């Protein structure tokens, strides 16, 4: 299991999602395929976010 890192530095800027979105846009253009990214937060009984489900969809045919 991979432990997540928490950044306490308010000046920290994560580039991970930006990089992923750019790569997905490139795949869409180069492969001429529709690509989408969706985030869904699952909550526990108290209403707190327990985890995040990330779905990446790439069309097989167009």
Positive or negative torsion for Cα 2, 48, 40, 5: negative
DSSP string, 2-23: PPPP----TT----HHHHHHHH
pLDDT digits (tens, 9 = 90+) for 18-41: 898 899 999 999 999 899 999 999
The pTM of the full predicted model, rounded to 2 decimals, is 0.58
CA distances from 16 to 13, 22, 30, 45, 48 (A): 9, 10, 21, 30, 24
* Choice between 10 and 22, residue whose per-residue pLDDT is larger: 22
pLDDT of 29 reads: 92
Phi, psi of 22 (to 5 degrees): -65, -40
pLDDT digits (tens, 9 = 90+) for 44-61: 999 999 999 999 998 887
Give the residue extent of every domain in the chain: 38-62
pLDDT of 42 reads: 93
pLDDT of 1 reads: 47
């Amino acid at each position: 299991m991979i432990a997540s890192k928490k950044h306490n530095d308010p000046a920290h800027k994560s580039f991970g999602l930006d990089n992923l979105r750019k790569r997905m846009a490139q795949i869409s253009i180069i492969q001429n395929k529709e690509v989408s990214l969706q985030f869904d937060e699952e909550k526990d009984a108290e209403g707190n976010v327990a985890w995040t489900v990330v779905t990446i969809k790439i069309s097989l045919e167009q």
